[in-house]
Amino acid sequence: MKTNVDPSKAEVAKRFSEYLEEQIKNNPIMHIALSGGSTPKGVFDYMSENSKGIDWSKVHLYWGDERCVAPTDEESNYKMTVDHLLSKIDIPEENIHRVLGEADPQAEAVRYGEVLEVQLPKENNLPQFDLVILGMGDDGHTASIFPHEIELWDSKENCEVAIHPDSGQRRITITGKIINNAKTVAFLVTGEGKAEKVKTIIGKENGYEQYPASLVAPTSKNLIWFMDEDAAAGIA
Ligand SMILES: O=C1O[C@H](COP(=O)(O)O)[C@@H](O)[C@H](O)[C@H]1O
């Protein structure tokens, strides 16, 4: 496991964008699962302004999780990505594989699982992303697998319907077997609210296994944590 601890959120955005740009340059085609929430916004803003040289026609974008809302809803991970990245770059429409948050959740989990089967190359008999980008919630959730539904991690399905513990909002999420089959998994974690869980999970402290983020262990062994100083305060 590599850590990339940076002094500020802006620096995380810069480092991660440069990493991504390098990966895109060096691969003929890349299938990337994006994370949602608030953390990627700065990275996407940075990329859309500073990474003009990227050939986006080589990149296929997917989402590791999506809230079950319309694509125009402020809660939509797709909308956040459109606002901060997709509306500012030249990427073919057919390279964007969004989760239909507005559809029936169970049917969409099945459909999106099939999208992954059709679009992605296979490794270990499973769809394989080149890169899965993950965030981590203050409660230790990742993608949309929350501590109260940690069993979803081990689902035999590619995607599941999850429920947010506080709001009851339904989510579509990729499952552990897809995450851990990726060529590379990169955590993008910022803010002091994450420090305690980062310390517990990376330090394998008492009870760390209750947090879904602790289950991220790609068989490729390529796991990278991009963090700012606030998130890394307990381990730096
Ligand atoms: O709900 C979600 O939360 C996590 C973490 O988000 P953040 O706002 O703390 O950055 C995110 O990774 C996930 O994609 C999102 O749907």
Q: Is the C-beta atom of 38 inside 6 A of ligand 1?
A: yes
With a cut of 0.85, is the ipTM above it?
yes
Q: Is the C-beta atom of 37 inside 6 A of ligand 1?
A: yes
- Nearest atom, ligand 1, residue 190 CA: 10
Confidence of residue 51 (pLDDT cuts 50, 70, 90): confident
Kindly give the distance from the C-alpha atom of residue 226 to the centroid of ligand 1, in angstroms, as a whole number.
15
Strands (E), the chain: 2-6, 30-34, 59-63, 65-67, 122-123, 126-127, 131-134, 159-163, 170-174, 184-189, 223-228
Kindly give the distance from the C-alpha atom of residue 142 to the centroid of ligand 1, in angstroms, as a whole number.
7
Burial class for 194, CB neighbours closer than 10 Å (0-12, 13-18, 19+): buried
Q: Is the C-beta atom of 160 inside 6 A of ligand 1?
A: no
Write out the two tokens for 165.
Answer: 């513990």
In tens, the pLDDT along 140-187 reads 999 999 999 999 999 999 999 999 999 999 999 999 999 999 999 999
Q: d(Cα 138, Cα 135) in Å, to the nearest integer? A: 10
Secondary structure of residue 62 in the 3-state scheme: strand
Residue type, 6: D
Q: d(Cα 211, Cα 113) in Å, to the nearest integer? A: 24
The answer to whether 94 and 112 have CB atoms below 8 angstroms apart is no
For the chain, the structural domain boundaries read 2-228
Residue bearing the CA closest to ligand 1, atom 13: 36
Kindly give the distance from the C-alpha atom of residue 144 to the centroid of ligand 1, in angstroms, as a whole number.
8
Residue bearing the CA closest to ligand 1, atom 10: 39
Q: Judge whether residue 7 has pLDDT over 70.
A: no
Residue bearing the CA closest to ligand 1, atom 14: 36
In tens, the pLDDT along 91-141 reads 999 999 999 999 999 999 999 999 999 999 999 999 999 999 999 999 999
Q: Is the C-beta atom of 65 inside 6 A of ligand 1?
A: yes
Q: What angle do CA 98, 100, 102 make, to 5 degrees?
A: 145
Kindly give the distance from the C-alpha atom of residue 37 to the centroid of ligand 1, in angstroms, as a whole number.
4
The answer to whether 78 and 64 have CB atoms below 8 angstroms apart is no
- Nearest atom, ligand 1, residue 40 CA: 10
pLDDT of residue 102: 98
**Pseudo-torsion of CA 216, 219, 224, 225, nearest 10°?**
10
The Cβ-side half-sphere exposure at 133, using a 13 Å CA radius, reads 25
Residue type, 77: N
Kindly give the distance from the C-alpha atom of residue 206 to the centroid of ligand 1, in angstroms, as a whole number.
24
Residue closest to 212 by CA, chosen among 160, 152, 171, 166: 152
Q: What is the CATH number of domain 2-228?
A: 3.40.50.1360
From residue 149, give the alpha-carbon distance in Å to each of 92, 145, 155, 175: 36, 6, 11, 12
